[in-house]
Chain A
Amino acid sequence: MNAVKIYYTMLHLECACMWRKQLQCLQGLMFFCLSVVFLPFAVGSDLNILQAVGPGYMWIMAIFASLLTADSIFSIDNQSGFLEKTVSAPDCLTAYYFAKLTAYFIFSSVPVILLTPVLSLLYQLSIFTIIILSITLTLGTFILNLFTLLGSILTLPVNQRNNLVQLLILPMITPVLIIGTMASYFTEPNQLTFSYIYLLLAIFLVAMFLLPIASIYLLRCGNT
């Protein structure tokens, strides 16, 4: 069996796992929906304020929403002894890592990204802002997920469900957060918007290259 086929089989099974834990995955989505819907109640229905605050606010809430279930990514496998089994067959660790990454992205971030345009209508954001928001969020949450996986591997030996992962990751992704929110503040096409997006893309490419190497190495080193 070649690597791609191994990856697809693992992805399929990981997605089946996530699908059977729907309630946990819905947690992030619910959090995102509620926090976005409730903002006008807090700051008033003045469209000027909402349009000024909205994109950045949605960005931050989307990031928090995808962080909510972060500590369970590898800890369930660790407690059930599944991780040990995977580590003792080291050829498949790379496929396992990428299957986990993709499944986590699909179930924690994609629903949030898909809901963003719909919820943006509440703040009457311009079409351009919505498009930029979706693009930056896709890149941003993917970078975030790369860091989340690294963080959840690092916190495995602690063996307790706590918010250590979030504490560890938030400082690391603050630059991404700043760049992402800056990019989505403009209401019409602007030179600066694209330079922010390129910057995000650059971070994405660097993270996509470096973080899997670090994470797989940590997994292999017997962090269990």
Chain B
Amino acid sequence: MGITLIKSSMQVNSIAIKQLTYDYQDRLFERLDLIIESGSLVQITGKNGAGKSTLLKILAGILPIEPHSMFINDCNDRQVFALYQQRIRYIGHQPGCKAELTVDENLQYDSVIYNQMLPMNLVDHLTHWQLNHYQHNLVQYLSYGQKRKVSMLKLTCFPGQIWLLDEPYVGLDKAACEFLTKIINSHVQNQGIVILSTHQEIANFGLVAEKIINL
């Protein structure tokens, strides 16, 4: 009822997972509970195979779970979940760009996926990630780190409230790491939600996690 009113301007205030049990070959989570509030940076840690990536995929809605175990703004309505998914920017292990397309064409594809226009100052965004000379190069000829940067571009080009980053610092050079830290910090200050999984100490990059989920 009230959903239509808040449709376009819905702000995600909290993401809650209640009593989640999930099997992926082995049992990964047993009655997992967690609450993430807006304006917070959450780090997911755990040994290899503990389910860090799986948890991020569940939060992104890529892996389906039982509908009554995930709540957005204390509400587990499907429409609200769809609105929540529109605000997700997920970066997984794989860069997630099409190798046969150029950087520019990949951005065009992202712009229809996220239903936002390409920013006017696109070259500035590319410069931040040191990709300004590669705008019309095919992604298949870029290095791994550059491919990662192409997938990071969507964080700045197509703003979304919830960032789900799986090992975001892997493959990035020093300048890009610093820039990533900067945008994560400013995103958290602007009531955004950043959930990242990493083995490294994120304090080394200048980030302070408000919550650490140890799987």
Contact = CB atoms under 8 A, between A and B. Distances in A.
A199 to B, nearest CB: 38
| Closest A-B pairs by Cβ, 3 of them | A81-B94, A81-B96, A17-B100
A89 B86 contact: yes
Interface of B: 57, 60-64, 82, 85-86, 88, 90, 92-101, 105, 108-109, 111-115, 138, 151
Contact of B85 (A76, A77, A89, A222): A89
B112 A9 contact: yes
A10 B112 contact: yes
A20 B139 CA distance: 12
Interface string A73-89: 00011011110111111
Contact of A80 (B57, B63, B95, B109): B95
A50 B21 CA distance: 64
Contacts, number: 85
Contacts of A222: 57, 62-64
A85 B90 contact: yes
Nearest to A21: B100
Interface in A193-224: 221-222, 224
Nearest to A9: B112
Contacts of B108: 9, 13
A167 interface: no
B115 A1 contact: yes
In this complex, the member of A5, A9, A88 whose beta carbon has the largest number of chain B beta carbons within 10 angstroms is A88
Nearest to A81: B94
Given A80-B98, A89-B85, A90-B82, A13 B105 contact: yes
Contact of A77 (B60, B61, B98, B115): B98
